[in-house]
Structure 1
Amino acid sequence: MTTWITICDTCKRDDWHEQTHQRPHGEDLAELVEVAAQGRGVRTRRVSCLMGCKHGCNIAIQAQGKLAYTLGDFLPDREAAAAIVDYAEMHAESDTGRVPFREWPQGVKGHFVTRHPPLPDTDDA
């Protein structure tokens, strides 16, 4: 299954202001994550809002049949993008989506907002 990194491209951190920023911080982070993910074992996509405005910049890491995670409060920089992609690759390599804490890249620690169980395979669950 493909692990996806979904990046909110409309996120604005607390310091965003139209007089000092030409575009949302989310666009900056999305661009950096897309570059960092090239040639790696994950895919990226952008969405207009993940509704985590208090935690901007937000991303989600998801794959069919696995735990899914929302992470936020990232700076839109190369270090954050690299850590996000590194974690997403670990998620992709895991059968369940669970990555042991000791293996997390330092750059994602403290950024987890939510964890979601996988959807049931049938309507009976």
Structure 2
Amino acid sequence: MTTWITVCDTCKRDGWDAETAGQTDGEVFADLIEKASEGRKAIAVRRHSCLMGCNRACNIAIQSKGKLAYTLGEFDPTPEAAEAVVEYASLHAEMETGVVPYRQWPQPIKGHFVTRHPPLPDK
């Protein structure tokens, strides 16, 4: 089953300047996550304008049907952070419930979890 990484492409971190930046921080992060996820089975990436976590930019969501979903934030749009997001999403895809044991979390993902959501009921 596919685990989706939804990246807020409108995120702007403190100090973002429309006059000097060619892209939002969210667009930069989305580009990096898309690149990091190339060739990964069971991972898909999509962009969404505004996950409503503006004070915690950059934000992403990790979701899959029938599994716990997570919102994460306060990422710097770096290759290291993008790789960690993709690695965590890959682990999420492998787990039946979406719960990844803490000891398996990539270090750069720790401290970025904002919310956890139960799966939607089938009925």
Q: TM-score, normalised by structure 1?
A: 0.95
Q: Which residue of 2 aligns with 1:90?
A: 91
Structure 2 unaligned runs (5+)? none
Deviation at 1:22, TM superposition (A): 2.0
Q: Which residue of 2 aligns with 1:45?
A: 46
Q: Which residue of 2 aligns with 1:23?
A: 23
For residues 20 and 109 of structure 2, what CA distance do their matches in structure 1 show?
Answer: 27
Q: Which residue of 2 aligns with 1:65?
A: 66
For residues 22 and 2 of structure 2, what CA distance do their matches in structure 1 show?
Answer: 33
Q: Which residue of 2 aligns with 1:7?
A: 7
- Code of the residue aligned with 1:97 in structure 2: it is G
- Code of the residue aligned with 1:52 in structure 2: it is G
Q: How many pairs does the alignment contain?
A: 122
* Root mean square deviation of aligned Cα: 0.7
Deviation at 1:32, TM superposition (A): 0.3
Deviation at 1:20, TM superposition (A): 3.0
Percent identity, aligned pairs only, is 64
For residues 31 and 23 of structure 2, what CA distance do their matches in structure 1 show?
Answer: 12
Deviation at 1:21, TM superposition (A): 1.6
Deviation at 1:45, TM superposition (A): 0.3
Q: TM-score, normalised by structure 2?
A: 0.97
